[in-house]
Structure formats: structure tokens, C-alpha cells
Amino acid sequence: MHLDHAHSAPSAVSADAQRPDGTRRALRIGLGGPVGSGKTATVAALCRALRDQFSLAVVTNDIYTREDAEFLLREAVLPPERIAAVETGACPHTAIRDDISANLEAVEDLEDEVGPLDLVLVESGGDNLTATFSKGLVDAQIFVIDVAGGDDIPRKGGPGVTTADLLVVNKTDLAPYVGSDLARMAADAKAQRAELPVVFQSLRSEAGVADVSAWVRARLAAWTA
């Protein structure tokens, strides 16, 4: 039995901005939100928009393993070695919040194997409105909802809607068909989030992911400044 009180080396903890070799690690951005809201589609669009300028990788946390990873592979948004899938034991929110070990390992393995990286996108498997990412895993989080999930979601709030660094209201192209009131969603989001930013987007439109990718670029600039 020994308790080592004299220990002085830095304890290798997750949120350290430095890698063991002293270089700055990649910025990590989490994408959460309900199933089907457009997280994977947003990740794919972000990869297309940013990959020529930045070194990227993606970690997916499927509810069933690998579906999102396989979609990204099929779409060929990044080479396969830059996409890793993490198994979540039927509890996607646990893997991004309460016990982030497997995700951290995936992020670090990507940096070791295909690094140096500028940005790692971590997509949550998506279950409910309360799932948020631990600060030990990501530096910033994007919460993706869609207009078809009901235009009362911003009003209902919840940790994702209220506290995410960026709220994305996706699939605005569908609003006329599902009777969602975008102005009301915007007002409710403003009431919940005060100054935190909100983006309304349709990935089917010309502009696509432009606003979100501009936000990500700004975070990257701040991270490397």
C-alpha cells in the first residue's frame, strides 16, 4: 500500500489543450440533438466546406454502431482513416457526458494516427433534449434541432437548446409543409438563449451550411490565436 503524495507530473487529463509532446491539440466541437435533426448531414457539409483548408477528423457515436460513420464513408467526405466510430452501450448521452473515456480515446487515436489535426467533430448518437457534451470532451458544442420536430422545441428549452454554444434550427425548407412558425421559433430561442447565437439553415438550399461553417471558422481562429 502506498499513497504517492510526492507525485508532481501533470496528470494526463482530458481537457488539457496541450498534447503530451507539447503541441496544441485539435479544437473539438460536439454536435448533439435529437435523432434525425440533421447532425450527420451537417457534419458532412462542414467537412466538404472546411477540408481543403483544415486538417479534419470525425468521431461518431451511433446508437447502433457505425451507421453514421458508414454514411460519411459512403459520401466520401473524408478519407476513411479520419472517421472513427465509438460504441455507446445503448446510452449515447453517457458516452458524451458522464463517461467520456471511449470518445477521448478515439479523438487521441485520430490525432496520433492522422494528425496533426486542426478540428475534430464529435457527433452524438442523439437521443433527447437533455443530452449535452462534457467540457472534458469538447471545447464547444452545437445543438441541432429541426423545424419538423415541432416548433415548440425552442420554447421548451432544456440544456441543449439553452446552453449550447450554437443552436442550429435545421430543415427550414420543410417549414411550410409542417406548419412550423420560424419567427416564433426565433423569438423563443432568443428568450431561452439571450446573446448565444442561433442559425436557421436548410442544407437543401444554396447557402447550405455556410453560417455554421463561418461560426466554426471563427472558433478555429480563436483556438489557434
Partner 1 sequence: MSRAALLVLADGRFPAGGHAHSGGAEEAVKAGRITGAASLEAFCRGRLHTVGLVGAALAAAAAAGADPVELDAAADARTPSPALRGAARRLGRQLMRAARAAWPSDELDALAGEFPKGAHQPVVLGVTARAAGLGAQDAAYCAAYESVSGPATAVVRLLSLDPFEATGVLARLAPELDLMVDRAVAAGRAVPGEGVDVLPAASGPLLEIGAEAHAGWPVRLFAS
Under the rule (CB under 8 A), what is the footprint of partner 1?
1-4, 7, 9, 11-14, 63-67, 86-91, 94-95, 98-102, 104-105
Residue 39 binds ligand GDP, judged by CB under 6 A: yes
How far apart are alpha carbons 70 and 55 in whole angstroms?
A: 20
Q: What does the angle CA 59 – CA 136 – CA 188 come to, to the nearest 5 degrees? A: 80
**Pick from partner 1, ligand GDP, Mg ion, none: which does 74 bind, CB < 5 to 8 A by kind?**
none
Q: What does 174 interact with, of Mg ion, ligand GDP, partner 1, none (CB < 5 to 8 A by kind)?
A: ligand GDP
Cis peptide before 116 (omega within 30 of 0): yes
CB of 43 or CB of 199, closer to Mg ion? 43
Query: 159, 203, 210, 217: which one contacts ligand GDP (CB under 6 A)?
Result: 203
User: Is 85:66 a contact under the CB 8 Å cutoff?
Assistant: yes
Contact pattern from residue 104 through residue 143 relative to ligand GDP, giving x for each residue in contact according to CB under 6 A and a dash for the rest: ----------------------x-----------------
CB 28 within 8 A of CB 137: yes
Q: Does 201 bind Mg ion (CB under 5 A)?
A: no
Site size for ligand GDP, by CB under 6 A? 15
Region of residue 166 (phi > 0: left; psi between -120 and 50: alpha; otherwise: beta):
beta
9 binds, among partner 1, Mg ion, ligand GDP, none (CB under 5 to 8 A by kind): partner 1
* Residues 12-41 close enough to bind Mg ion by CB under 5 A: 39-40
Residue 31 CA to residue 138 CA, distance in Å, equals 10
Q: Based on the shown chain and the rule CB under 6 A, indicate whether residue 181 belongs to the binding site for ligand GDP.
A: no
Which residue's C-alpha cell is 478519407?
Answer: 79
Binding-site member from 30, 32, 38, 149 for ligand GDP (CB under 6 A): 38
Report in angstroms how near the CB of residue 4 gets to partner 1 at its nearest. Answer: 4
Beta strands in 14-67 (DSSP E): 27-32, 56-60
Q: Which phi-psi region, left, alpha or beta, contains residue 171 (left: φ > 0; alpha: ψ -120 to 50)?
A: left
Distance CA 158, CA 69 (A): 27
Helices H, strands E: what count in the chain? 9, 7
Positions that interact with ligand GDP (CB under 6 A): 35-41, 126, 170-171, 173-174, 202-204
The residues that touch Mg ion, with contacts defined as CB under 5 A, are: 39-40, 68
